[in-house]
Amino acid sequence: MRTVFVATAGLETAPLANGSVVYNLKTSKFIMLNPSANLIWSALSRAHSEQDLVDLLRDRYDGVDASAARQAVQATLRELQQLELVAQREGEAEPIEAGAPAGVRASGPDDGYAPPSVKVLDEEDLLKVFQITAAEISVASCWWAACTAGCP
Amino acid sequence: MTPPPTKVVRGVTLRADPAREPCFQVVHDSAQLADYADMSDVARRQRLHKHMHNEMQSLEMAAQSLADFPDATWELRMCLARQCWDESRHTRLLHGRLREIGGRKGEFPVMNYEWSITCMADNVWARLAIQNRTFEGGEIDLLRRLVRMWADAGDPRTAELLEGILADEIQHVRFSNVWIKRAAKEDPGVLWKLASAVNFVRAVTKGLQPAPGEVNAVGVDMTGFEHVEVLANVADRRLAGFSEAEIAQILEQEDALQAQPRRGAAAATPGPA
């Protein structure tokens, strides 16, 4: 038996190109996670120890030393607990999934490490994040025949 | 709301098509469209035909929301009803112009792209987020460009018509912004519905993306161009109720798109004029 952490029930997650946004229905808060915070968060769909998460972070990001990784994980867990996204209990840790946990985007080799960031979004922040440009829409099909060269 | 009938395109589940007159050939994939890459006579007719059909879909989406969400606030339903009137007027105007330049209804294949995505949403906030805030928001950007494009092509009459449509579309985006922001004050869950809806559009867009080198029904390379030339129409987005922060974010996303490596120069193989 050891101290493990696991995501609380009743939360919803929306993936972003870089990270994710979590909605806590109980507190009505929207929380944006950057890629490294999202890596930790996604692993917490199962119970894991602090050490598991440190190993996960170091495994994913080359060059992050053990001390920095531990500090980052501890700070992230503290913030996630304060926001009622994660609960702590005594129990058995579950194995870390091979590869990226569910919901974590496969990253390219040039994706550098930035310390985990957990940010509460207000209404304007959220509206800002969830927007799509006309060019993005047109990727699926040149959309309203707006292009004049090389594009239907 | 009763679960709607669906169809599957390139592995993506979408709302089944609305009814169409027999003159229309309805296709389900952009590879089956006969969209041209130039401003030849046939391309002009095809562009107006596509725009006319997009306005038809806009009418149908707003009308379907009225039918699907009878308990929505009366004032919001009035906004949707007025939108129906605007979109039907746009359709008639574009049909008239299409006929003036020698085209006809059903001359080109049509695809119910916006309808199929928007009408998968099971709540009015997601519908507004997709149809009004996303698609019509994007249309605000596109229309400003299209007005210039038609004027530059020596067709001020079509340019003027599109300018008038743009004014209406600004109002459609504006009322969705007003209502979403108003409702979110009382229920933050509204914002989550919006977020989920936008992510659905992103997923569909990714799923329907043509493969490199794929050509459409008239031989145009569908991945030969990056579409990054369509830039935010900042002045009209402001009128449509987007905040300065939202506009700044859209500009940032566009900068990021433009900074990505291009797939290649324009690779048009225009079809017969």
Cα gap B162→B160, rounded to integer Å: 5
> Nearest C-alpha of chain A: how many angstroms from B75?
23
Domain positions in chain B: 24-223
Q: Mean of the pLDDT values across residues B173-188?
A: 96
Predicted TM-score (pTM) of the model is 0.89
pLDDT of B37? 79
Chain A residues lying within 8 Å of B265, measured CB to CB: 150
DSSP string, B198-240: HHHHHHHHHHHPPPTT-B-TTS-BTTS---TT----HHHHHHT
Please indicate if any CB of chain B lies within 8 Å of the CB of A144.
Answer: yes
Q: Say how many CB pairs under 8 Å bridge A and B.
A: 180
pLDDT of B157? 98
Nearest to residue A85, comparing CAs of A123, A40, A55? Answer: A40
CATH superfamily of the domain spanning B24-223? Ferritin, core subunit, four-helix bundle (1.20.1260.10)
pLDDT of B264? 46
Q: CA nearest B112 in A: which residue?
A: A143
Cα distances from B65 to residues A17, A56, B51, B120, B166, in angstroms, run 30, 46, 21, 11, 22
Tens digits of pLDDT across chain A (152 residues): 789 999 999 899 999 988 999 999 999 999 999 999 999 999 999 999 999 999 999 999 988 999 999 999 999 999 999 999 999 999 888 887 655 554 455 444 447 899 999 999 999 999 999 999 888 887 766 666 555 544 43
Per-residue tokens: A88: 């702590």
* Pairwise CB contact (< 8 Å): A143 & B268: no
| CB < 8 Å from B in window 107-136 of A | 123-136
pLDDT at B107 over 70: yes
B111, amino acid identity = M
Cα gap B157→B160, rounded to integer Å: 5
Chain A residues lying within 8 Å of B112, measured CB to CB: none
CB-CB neighbours of B159 under 10 Å: 17
* Pairwise CB contact (< 8 Å): B195 & A23: yes
Chain B residues lying within 8 Å of A25, measured CB to CB: 189
